[in-house]
Amino acid sequence: MTISEVAAILLFGYPLPPEMVDPRFPEFLQRPAGLLLTLLITVTSLLIGAVLGTVLALCRREAPEDPHADIVERCLDRAIRVSAAMIVEGVRGLPIMLLVLLVFHLPFRLLGLRFPSFLLAVAAFSLYAGVYFSESMRAGLRSVDSGMYQVGKVLGLTPRQILLRIELPLIYRTMKPDLINLTVTVFKDTSTLAVVAIPEITYVGRQLFMSEPVNYAVVLIIILIAYWLPATMLSALATRAEKQRAGLAV
């Protein structure tokens, strides 16, 4: 096999047998694999993770003490905060490899539920991304002056409007480098999905090595470059954003 054939398989996965291809759609959409699947999982789980992270961060937020809240509301508030904290700390304490294994094995072994493996992969990485996103967002929210909240209130904005119109635009710039770094981390860590037979690029490399007379070292070098190039470019972006942030703080 030539290098270009190997690279093509690594990027898009093994071609489907012709009788399984639906001619109405492009072939790579029907069974994504290789680097394409890696990117797909990264992007999907970052998007879901952003939503999840926002929810978690808001749950854990120290709300201004409401003097009219009765005891039930206060207990509920405490319960929500503690459970969000437990999710975040629990996931942060686990290595991603273990998290992936848990997400792939526990639902079936304990509850007998089966899901498509793509969904499970996205679930594991959404959880992972969401937790780290929420930590970065929490730090951002803490850096917003509490006077902003009061100003918003005086202007007659609802809490949701204050969050969307005042606080989120303010913390976006402080969060930007962290978010880019999180993207890089998630992108690199999707390689752990190879252990649960998701056909992302690392796994496809293994398949190639098992089925074709190729040099595994060469395949692995191509894989490493495929990870390294986007990651390096994103890291450069992150460094730039960090400099911007430093300029902002001064």
Partner 1 sequence: MTMLIAAVSGLGAAIIGFLVLQCRCSARGPLRALGVGFVMTFRNLPLVPLLLFLTFGLPGLWTALSGRPFPRGLELTLVILGLALNTAAYLAEIMLAGVTAVAPQQVAAARSLGLTPGAIRRCVIYPQAARIVAPALASRFIHNMKNSTVALVVPLPVDVMEVVGQAGRIAGQTFSWAEPLIFAACVHLLLAVCLGHVLNRWASLEQARIGATA
Q: Is 188 in the site for partner 1 (CB under 8 A)?
A: yes
Report the residue number, 81 or 188, with the smaller CB distance to partner 1: 188
Q: Is 178 in the site for partner 1 (CB under 8 A)?
A: no
Dihedral angle at the C-alpha atoms of 174, 132, 38, 3, nearest 10 degrees? Answer: 70
Q: Is 215 in the site for partner 1 (CB under 8 A)?
A: yes
The span from the CA of 135 to the CA of 230, in Å, is 24
Min CB(39)–partner 1 separation in Å: 14
Among 126, 134, 136, 192, binds partner 1 (CB under 8 A): 192
Stretch that binds partner 1, among 20-28, 61-69, 77-85, 102-110 (CB under 8 A): 102-110
Min CB(235)–partner 1 separation in Å: 6
Question: How far lies 189's CA from each of 3, 93, 115, 124, 230, in Å?
Answer: 25, 16, 21, 11, 13
Among 3, 69, 82, 98, binds partner 1 (CB under 8 A): 98
DSSP state of 88: H
Q: Is 95 in the site for partner 1 (CB under 8 A)?
A: yes
The span from the CA of 127 to the CA of 136, in Å, is 14
Site for partner 1 in 222-241 (CB under 8 A): 223-224, 227-228, 231-232, 235
Q: Is 96 in the site for partner 1 (CB under 8 A)?
A: yes
Q: Is 205 in the site for partner 1 (CB under 8 A)?
A: yes
The span from the CA of 8 to the CA of 130, in Å, is 32
The span from the CA of 221 to the CA of 204, in Å, is 13
